[in-house]
Structure 1
C-alpha cells in the first residue's frame, strides 16, 4: 500500500528504512522526469515504471557495494 507523505513522496507500508528512502527518492525523480516530458506517471501503463526504474538502478549499481576481489573471483587473464 502506498501513502503520500507531506513532501509529496510516496512511502510503502512495511518497507525497511535501509535502502527504502533512497528507492523512494529515485522513484520520485522518475515521476518528475515523466511529468517533464509530458507524461502522467499515474496513468495505467506508467504507474509501476518509477519502481521498475529504481529496481533497475539498484541492480545495475549493486557491484559498487561488493568487494572487487570477490566479484572478479580470479577471472583475470593474461
Structure 2
C-alpha cells in the first residue's frame, strides 16, 4: 500500500486518468473528489463488497438451479 500525505486542495493522479483531490478535512472525516472517465466504476468499499457478495450468491443459485434441472431431466 502506498501511503501519501496530502493537504486540502492537493491531489494525486492515478494511471494518467484518475485524479483524487482532498476537498475538506473535518475531525475524522475527509471529503475526496474523484475525476475519472465514465467507463471506470467507483464504489465505496462497503458497497463494492455487498455487490460482490450478491454476485456470488446469484452465481451459486444459478449453479444450484442448473444441477436441479439436470437431475429432474434424468
TM-score, normalised relative to structure 2: 0.30
TM-score, normalised relative to structure 1: 0.29
Q: Which has the higher strand share?
A: 2
Q: Which structure would you say has the larger RCO, counting Cα contacts within 8 Å and 6 or more residues apart?
A: 1
Choose 1 or 2 for highest CA Rg: 2
Q: Which has the higher helix share?
A: 1
